[in-house]
Amino acid sequence: MRRVNIDTVPPGAKLARTVFSSDGGVLLMQGVELRESYLELLKNRGITEIYLDDDLSAGIEVHDVINENTRNEAVTLVKRIMTGYSFSDAIDVEKVKLMVSKIVDELLANDDILYNLTEIKTVDDYTFEHSVNVCILSLITGIGLGFDTTQLRELGIGAILHDIGKLCIPREILKKPCQLTVEEFEEIKRHTVLGYELLKNSGQLYMVSSYIALGHHERYDGSGYPLRLKNKEIQLYARIVAVADVYDALTSDRVYRKRLKPHEVYEYITSLGFHHFDPQVVDSFVKFVTVYPVGSGVLLNTRERAIVVKHNRKMPTRPVVRIVYDENMKRRSKEIDLSQDKSIFVVDAWEV
């Protein structure tokens, strides 16, 4: 299995993972042969990447940290909330609590948690998918910090609802495809306070969860908003969600910019660990996030092209790779553990 840009998929290729819509429906089922009309359907839905099964990637397995049905249910639930379906209704709040508990249980049952950037993202459904990804990333970080089940549930609820205040921001500003004016950015920034008020006034959520909406854009050096808090003045849960929020945002396509490569975002976050983010949170976060996701392509210093087969926890920048093309773009198949051969290393990502 390998992750590929949809524009490079030849008709007749075999889909390796089911593609869902944010409404919970199946767009294309795993195993289907991809006709031109199917590829156009996916492109029209804003899907830019999919997983293929072929001889280049035979035997490579890409695993999500939670069940794909659970992820799909979570995205659908967030979409219902974020499109204005009576947030004040108690049943919605209870569903959020149950969904977060389900995600927590699945993560705790996972013997080897590793966030591999497996989900297929769409530009149109960014807000809903982003909320679920931030929840999962935050929970994984919390597990790394030794949180108990109660703390994880408090964290997860606030994380999945961290952007709820955007319900109150004009859609034309949220979806603007170019740079915001100063006034528009000030309006966007209000989603932190508005979200906090929404969650606090619901009367059915933990106050510590509500503070996440308020504080997830604060920065460790005091350069954030809305209160310009510093260091430990920022609530711990909000410090965690701040890292998860930036990571998922930068690895996602937006209407106004293309996503960055996972290793670029990894380097960005680690380099800002003592400025924008709590260094202890960053240390926990990076232990559970792949630098080069399994199933993705990488370019080696030998000019050979490879697919990532397995992550090395102790040396995350040196995964196990399968070389599929030599320096002259001739086919070959050879697996190398880059942690064992120090003369070969990854120099960049490669669109397989």
Q: Which fold has domain 68-287?
A: Hypothetical protein af1432 (1.10.3210)
Task: Write down the pLDDT at residue 91.
Answer: 46
Mean pLDDT on 282-311: 94
The least confident of 77-91, 147-161, 169-183, 207-221 is 77-91
Would you place residue 86 in the very low, low, confident or very high pLDDT band (cuts 50, 70, 90)?
Answer: very low
- Cβ atoms of 279 and 240 within 8 Å: the answer is no
Is residue 89 scored above 70 in pLDDT? no
Is residue 260 scored above 60 in pLDDT? yes
Determine how β-strand 26-28 pairs with β-strand 320-325.
Answer: unpaired
Is residue 119 scored above 80 in pLDDT? no
Which of 234 and 126 is assigned the larger pLDDT? 234
Q: Which residues contact 351 (CB under 8 A, 6 or more apart)?
A: 4, 5, 8, 297
SS3 19: strand
Tokens 């880059």 belong to residue? 338
The least confident of 83-87, 144-148, 285-289, 314-318 is 83-87
Tokens 């890292």 belong to residue? 243
What percent of the chain has a predicted confidence (pLDDT) above 70?
Answer: 96
2-57 to CATH, choices 3.10.20.30, 3.90.1150.10, 2.40.160.20, 3.90.105.10: 3.90.105.10
Q: Please name the amino acid found at residue 229.
A: L
Angle made by CA atoms 257, 258, 261, in degrees to the nearest 5: 140
Would you place residue 123 in the very low, low, confident or very high pLDDT band (cuts 50, 70, 90)?
Answer: low
Is residue 112 scored above 90 in pLDDT? no
Determine how β-strand 14-15 pairs with β-strand 49-53.
Answer: antiparallel
Buried/exposed code over 211-224 (b: 16+ C-beta within 10 A; e: otherwise): bbbbbbbbbbeeeb
Give the separation between CA 5 and CA 24, rounded to whole angstroms.
23
Is residue 85 scored above 70 in pLDDT? no
Is residue 24 scored above 80 in pLDDT? no
pLDDT tens digits, residue range 36-62? 999 998 888 888 888 998 888 999 988
Q: Please name the amino acid found at residue 98.
A: L
Angle made by CA atoms 45, 69, 27, in degrees to the nearest 5: 25
Give the separation between CA 300 and CA 335, rounded to whole angstroms.
13
SS3 46: coil
SS3 62: coil
Task: Write down the pLDDT at residue 152.
Answer: 97
Confirm whether 2-57 and 68-287 share one CATH topology. Answer: no
Helix (H) or strand (E) holding 222, with range, is none
Task: Write down the pLDDT at residue 126.
Answer: 79
Q: What is the CA 12 to chain-centroid distance, rounded?
A: 29
Determine how β-strand 346-350 pairs with β-strand 297-300.
Answer: antiparallel
Q: At what angle do helices 262-271 and 236-250 cross, to 10 degrees?
A: 150
Give the separation between CA 7 and CA 217, rounded to whole angstroms.
35
Q: How many residues does the chain have?
A: 352
Q: What is the CA 32 to chain-centroid distance, rounded?
A: 26
Task: Write down the pLDDT at residue 74.
Answer: 94
pLDDT tens digits, residue range 130-176? 999 999 999 999 999 999 999 999 999 999 999 999 988 888 898 88
Task: Write down the pLDDT at residue 174.
Answer: 85
Q: Please name the amino acid found at residue 200.
A: K
Count CB neighbours of 22 within 10 A.
22
Which of 167 and 280 is assigned the larger pLDDT? 280
Strands (E), the chain: 2-5, 14-15, 19-20, 26-28, 49-53, 297-300, 305-310, 320-325, 331-337, 346-350
Which of 204 and 279 is assigned the larger pLDDT? 279
Give the separation between CA 239 and CA 212, rounded to whole angstroms.
8
Task: Write down the pLDDT at residue 124.
Answer: 64
Cα-Cα-Cα-Cα dihedral sign, residues 142, 147, 150, 154? negative
Please report, for the chain, the start and end positions of each structural domain, with discontinuous segments joined by +. Answer: 2-57, 68-287, 297-350
Would you place residue 287 in the very low, low, confident or very high pLDDT band (cuts 50, 70, 90)?
Answer: very high
Tokens of 273: 């660990």
Residue 270's Cβ-count burial label (10 Å; 0-12, 13-18, 19+) is middle
Q: What is the mean pLDDT of the chain?
A: 90
pLDDT tens digits, residue range 321-331? 999 999 999 99
Is residue 336 scored above 90 in pLDDT? yes
